[in-house]
Structure 1
């Protein structure tokens, strides 16, 4: 999976170039009598088309009449335009990829690698981290908007993996979404709640659009997290100094919020072969997931 995106990009360029050469080759073959020497068969027309698009222009076949000359000029211009388009696309893809990955790498200092929502909140609660959590949510709100626009415009970007060990953009995004959900559902009086709400809203927009693009049916809405995992996270947040609450109402609110994006995160993590991360990835081992997969025993024949 790591090599899929680069290979797919190369194949895409090859398909475009082959389609142009083939199309112009068919047109040139229809005008074969206007060349000197005359094009004997389609392979010769294909050769003339390819050497014009690149362009090589050996001059062994010369167009001598108007339509053939016009077609050669047009294909040569298309070759220049194709090269410019390919270079522009490469720069655009790299720029979007770099912008996405800069935030992922920067998050390591707060959330670790692979990223963890609880570690993010713990680090942001440090004595010298005033306002850092709000700043992080604001940055990732902009990040989510950028990824939403760029990855819908160029879906191939989704498959470009992070270049650092134990990192994946889907894991980092999931950690920030989980952190926002924890703040909004289970933490009282935190000044970052407003930024968390905005980030959570834009993040869900990203989830909805990309999941529809890739999966059409992203699956059932599930929190895909155990109550014990949530309780352990609340204990850590209390130890970090947050006014965290873990009653049934708060758990249900967190589970409801996480159900909006958890299935997408897990399916994306599996699709991209992302490294295992807390709360993101293959969660089929969880007790409640296993119980749902068990089928009832067949009834004994009477």
Structure 2
């Protein structure tokens, strides 16, 4: 019986140590089954409440605490699991009962010291438990600044995009607003910034997957919808303006869908790694024409007709649409044009696009 208790305790302690290392220490995408289960349980509880709302702002308020709370619950779950694991080891090497073993383990793990035993075998385990508690808590505390630094960096570009793409953002709106203020030549700078943004998000959101569920400060903003809008703007620019410089736009598009594919890999979302340009997309041609009409309203220069541009636009969008739609549904991103369905139908108050009013000469 003691052997079985010892084996069970060792499995628990080593398994949780592995979870801590994979989540907080190893600087590369690594999956921890324990962490994933805990965070999904927390998310599921809030999602049940959010799914009952038909208002996007209300749903966003319900889901906003999920990711930060999941971090706290994960830490508590680690400590509770260590408590049980060390208690099993204490019971295996002594005559302690379940209650006494838990008391001894908790006293050492939390460095309280009120239940210290005088047996050598217990002392060794007490030392291990006493070192474990502060180390895990210290690692978690050190993990938070890195996490929030990545979040702040992500949200800075998302906030800057609000003036360029509306809120929630939309690909055609980016081109419209740049045309409206006669800055179409500056689109290259926008795409260059979002190429670097995509690379940074790919690294941070695969190393720390909880960031995927961190929501923007406002309900009408979302990192995924912002990325989708920039990629759609790039695809539209390529489709309608073949004579304009293409290299930076192509790089931004590729960085964008590589970012989405890296996140899809860490979340186990299936996708076609090499789709054909003529493969079907969920965005309909009629929805595409709605975006084209928006471009025409603001006299955006188009070198191709919608019929000619559609195959080119679709050929780019097939690389990222399915992943973007699936992620938008999973995280309940703010509803926006060309971003697919959500878990439940919701409504949102969309700010109107400001008119570029100029003095009459």
TM-score tier after normalising by the smaller chain length = 0.7 to 0.9
Question: Could you tell which deviates more after superposition, 159-168 or 109-118?
Answer: 159-168
Q: What residue ranges of structure 2 are gaps of 5+ in the alignment? A: 1-46, 48-62, 344-361
CA shift at 1:131, angstroms? 4.5
Does residue 174 of structure 2 align to residue 120 of structure 1? Answer: yes
Q: Does 1:207 align with 2:260?
A: yes
Residue of structure 1 in register with 2:42 after alignment:
none
CA contact (8 A) 1:171 1:277 kept: yes
CA distance in 1, matches of 2:88, 2:230: 54
From 23, 26, 31, the equivalent of 2:85 is: 23
> 2:324 aligned to 255, 265, 283, which one?
265
- TM-score by length of structure 1 reads 0.82
2:110 matched residue in structure 1: 54
- 1:205-259: CA deviation from partner (whole Å, max 9, x where unpaired): 1222222333432489642222233334334435444234225342111112112
**1:291 maps to what in 2?**
none
Query: Which residue of structure 2 lines up, in the alignment, with residue 169 of structure 1?
Result: 223
Maintained 8 Å contact 1:234/1:245 = no
- Is the Cα contact below 8 Å between 2:269 and 2:323 reproduced in 1? no
Residue 203 of structure 1 and its aligned partner are, at CA, apart by 0.9
| CA deviation vs aligned residue, 1:109-157 (integer Å, no higher than 9, x gap) | 1001000111111222244636431111111111111111111112221
The 5 A counterparts of 1:232-271 are 232-238=290-296, 239-271=298-330
Report how far residue 174 of structure 1 moved. Answer: 0.6
CA distance in structure 1 between the aligned counterparts of 2:119 and 2:334, rounded to whole angstroms? 62
Q: Aligned partners of 2:116, 2:291: CA distance in 1, in Å?
A: 75
Greater mean deviation of Cα atoms: 105-114 or 179-188? 179-188
Structure 1 stretches lacking a partner, 5+ long: 34-38, 285-302
Cα distance in structure 2, aligned partners of 1:283 and 1:18: 36
User: Helix, strand or coil for the counterpart of 1:230?
Assistant: helix
Structure 1 residues 9-48: Cα deviation after superposition (integer angstroms, max 9, x where no partner): 2222122111211111111223335xxxxx4x12211122
Q: Secondary structure at the match of 2:341?
A: coil
Please identify the structure whose Cα radius of gyration is greater. 1
In 2, the alpha carbon distance for the partners of 1:113 and 1:177 equals 16
Query: Is the Cα contact below 8 Å between 1:212 and 1:218 reproduced in 2?
Result: no
- 2-structure distance, mates of 1:244, 1:211: 35
Task: Measure the CA separation in 1 of the matches of 2:213 and 2:223.
Answer: 10
Residue of structure 2 in register with 1:84 after alignment: 138
Counterpart of 1:224 (choices 258, 282, 287) is: 282
Q: Which residue of 1 aligns with 2:74?
A: 12
- After superposition, the CA RMSD in angstroms is 2.4
Q: How many residues are matched?
A: 275
Question: Structure 1 residue 89: deviation in Å?
Answer: 2.1
Q: 1:300 — aligned with what?
A: none
1:147 is paired with a residue of what secondary structure? helix
Q: Deviations over 1:135-188 (max 9, x none)?
A: 111111111111111111122211222221211111111100101111112213
Alignment match, 1:42: 98
Distance (whole Å) between structure 1 residues aligned to residue 117 and residue 339 of structure 2? 62
- Secondary structure of 1:125 counterpart: helix
Q: Distance in 1 between matches of 2:338 and 2:116?
A: 66
Matched-pair contact (CA < 8 Å) for 2:175–2:300: no
Once the two structures are overlaid, the 10-residue window that deviates more, 148-157 or 172-181, is 148-157
TM-score calculated relative to the size of structure 2: 0.70
